[in-house]
Chain A
């Protein structure tokens, strides 16, 4: 009986994990690249490329579990990226510039949550509006061009070879790992986490049980906003400029990662481990396709097919229960 339960729990994560293994297996069997693909250096490379999507997807997992959606994630990220450059250019210390831009991300998230709970407008619409507004503000701040900022230590956050070298991995990767653990613990081990699941599973029941559903949602969107701000900081670190047109359409990748990892758009379901696997599946696909010299559109077709397959397989698994 115990075993059965473990298997059932594992079932949710097993599917995405096998998917990831399959992607790895396919590319490592390609004779043209097999030598380079399965190298540690390449894995580090993919990990760095995953940091930005992964950080935003952590927050998106919270939101999707609570039964919501955030279309403004990528715009929020771009605004934060622009703000870091703007503040540094204005003479702020890198620390302060980073802090302010991350907080701004939180503010955007808070606004999303506030409008959703107060105006009772559905998340899709509120965040659709916020997507345009945040992007517009980013372009406004940057006068519709890239903001060049002097090189600071912020730019080494996403370096491939970390300094000091005892870090082994780039600080950005460490940040991704730490945040994943923090959000995972928040979701699985705390009262707040149970409330997030309860709100997404059945908001009326949650309210009946005394859960302050509005506060839970407000917190979820704010946390997610902070994570988007952090992702924006990483984006700046990678680009070394504040680019208001960066990450256009990235919100769909972020949502796709959560969904591939077992998140349900009707709420109440989702896993941090699943989301991370979803991020890596997409990152390895891009990486492998690029190495093979396959054109961009090929990647797009494959990723599209994977999203549908992942969700269909998930439904199938549910049907068996």
Chain B
């Protein structure tokens, strides 16, 4: 079959405020082609997808679909032009049936009445084309396993006669078996002439399913070409490139006694048990992709999820976390990865947010000493350089970086000894990041212990003493930072493979 270009984008640029997210990006997709779109978190993949779908407008650049100029005003218009996006978190109405979900917004109707028979035929046809004839159109979507839900979403795209399908991390929540079946579907779609943009972190899958690739780094295309003849290592180095090192403070680690010991700890939501030790004055990095089990591990340690088995030993004493209240008393401090939803009470003021976990410092017979409370808040605000008018300002009026400092300051205030930080630098500007690194290293100088979870590996290499890697629910390796390179971390996080040939080679060279 003659392959013709069905989607072309030239010179796409986009900035949010003063921050450029995409710079002069080119991308081309032919019919029957699967193009992998690769890049680290924050490289600009999601923004590019949103521009394709019509959810965002580019600042400059031109797009065309099947040779016709394409500048969608809304996702709806994108859909009408034959472009469908299947997002990581699926967009289905859980209470509606499979049929209703597939036909939603495109019901075949006559005089306002749904023509059920025609709908039904069409759906049966599509589902069997997708190798899933067993899915009944009548059951509500929430009863389906996650893999089948994805099939429903793809079916919806097919019924709308999409010619271009964008899949955002389609396998991140699928089992291996479901992933296999998805690849078969992708092959059938290719044979039908559908063009697919496939976004994924799992490079091995990409090697298997994609024909071509485009790599983004910091909003720019750093490479594009055929998958055949390209190695995983080459792709990784295109994704990483070179980076500034000046952001990171010079740590000097003097590890003291063991403060936290985790032995075969198995939380309710953890994939497999974890064993780790943490010393005073140490910063332990935890690398891994979103959904790799890092967050679940931290939450289990802090008592937010139930513990099924294993041991937790704090300063030599066994501790069974049940409620955050007890964990806080034991000296644990937890920073949530989602400060907007969980980490902070946005409507409350800074002073209350800072002190909420230890109001007992200011209470006598249950009565609060507001003056004392505000005084402490003032001290913390100046100590951490939080930009605020006064302690009674509501937290939602602060910038992201300053909100995060409030969340971290709360842990200082509650006199935590072990800091469990889940993605502390997510969504904040570079300057605030640098300031946070400084604060975290300062903690280690004061002989506190830190576990620092991040998807952004350079920062782990920049501030941590040891780095552990999680992959699909499992802790696969822990090493001193000198024994990691960014390539090795990335490889371990996306393949689970900790073969350290790369890092060894590098160490040898350094010696």
A binding-site residues for B, Cβ under 8 Å: 1, 5, 189-195, 197-198, 201-202, 204-212, 268-269, 321
Chain B: minimal CB distance from A3 (Å): 12
| Interface residues contributed by chain B, number (CB under 8 Å) | 35
12 contacts between A and B (CB under 8 A): A191-B359, A192-B366, A194-B352, A197-B348, A198-B345, A201-B348, A202-B346, A205-B343, A207-B324, A208-B357, A210-B324, A211-B325
Complex CA distance for A5 and B394, rounded to whole angstroms: 11
Instruction: Give every chain A residue within 8 A of B326 (Cβ-Cβ).
Output: 210
Query: Does A208 contact B336, Cβ atoms closer than 8 Å?
Result: yes
Interface flag for B360 (CB, 8 Å): yes
B344 partner, pick from A189, A205, A268, beta carbons under 8 A = A205
Instruction: Give every chain B residue within 8 A of A190 (Cβ-Cβ).
Output: 363, 366-368
User: What residue in chain A is nearest B393 (Cβ atoms)?
Assistant: A5
Query: Does B345 contact A268, Cβ atoms closer than 8 Å?
Result: yes
Instruction: Give every chain A residue within 8 A of B347 (Cβ-Cβ).
Output: 201-202, 268-269
Interface flag for B334 (CB, 8 Å): yes
Complex CA distance for A44 and B348, rounded to whole angstroms: 38
Chain B CB count within 10 A is highest, among A1, A190, A201, for A201
Q: Is the interface of A mostly helix, strand, loop or mixed?
A: helix
Query: Does B345 contact A189, Cβ atoms closer than 8 Å?
Result: no
Complex CA distance for A42 and B353, rounded to whole angstroms: 45
Instruction: Give every chain A residue within 8 A of B304 (Cβ-Cβ).
Output: 207-208
Instruction: Give every chain A residue within 8 A of B329 (Cβ-Cβ).
Output: 210
Interface flag for B114 (CB, 8 Å): no
B356 partner, pick from A209, A268, A321, beta carbons under 8 A = A209
Chain B: minimal CB distance from A120 (Å): 15
8 closest A-B pairs by beta carbon, nearest first, are A210-B325, A209-B357, A201-B345, A202-B345, A209-B356, A204-B342, A210-B328, A205-B345
Chain B: minimal CB distance from A192 (Å): 6
Interface flag for B390 (CB, 8 Å): yes
Chain B 308-335 per-residue mask, 1 if CB under 8 angstroms from chain A, else 0: 0000000000000001111111000010
Q: A205-B343, A208-B343, A209-B356 are in contact. List 12 more A-B contacts (CB 8 A).
A: A1-B390, A194-B352, A194-B356, A201-B345, A201-B347, A202-B342, A202-B345, A205-B353, A209-B357, A210-B323, A210-B324, A210-B357
Complex CA distance for A269 and B304, rounded to whole angstroms: 27
Complex CA distance for A321 and B353, rounded to whole angstroms: 19
Instruction: Give every chain B residue within 8 A of A192 (Cβ-Cβ).
Output: 366
Interface flag for B389 (CB, 8 Å): yes
Chain B: minimal CB distance from A297 (Å): 38
Query: Does B359 contact A194, Cβ atoms closer than 8 Å?
Result: yes
Chain B: minimal CB distance from A278 (Å): 21
Instruction: Give every chain A residue within 8 A of B342 (Cβ-Cβ).
Output: 202, 204-205, 208
Query: Does B368 contact A206, Cβ atoms closer than 8 Å?
Result: no
Complex CA distance for A29 and B149, rounded to whole angstroms: 67
Chain A: minimal CB distance from B469 (Å): 26
**Given A198-B356, A210-B323, does the pair A268, B389 have CB atoms closer than 8 Å?**
no
Instruction: Give every chain B residue within 8 A of A209 (Cβ-Cβ).
Output: 324, 328, 356-357, 410
Query: Does A191 contact B345, Cβ atoms closer than 8 Å?
Result: no
**Given A1-B389, A189-B367, does the pair A198, B357 have CB atoms closer than 8 Å?**
no
Instruction: Give every chain A residue within 8 A of B410 (Cβ-Cβ).
Output: 209
Chain A: minimal CB distance from B336 (Å): 6
Interface flag for B228 (CB, 8 Å): no
Interface flag for B482 (CB, 8 Å): no
Complex CA distance for A159 and B198, rounded to whole angstroms: 78
Instruction: Give every chain A residue within 8 A of B327 (Cβ-Cβ).
Output: 210
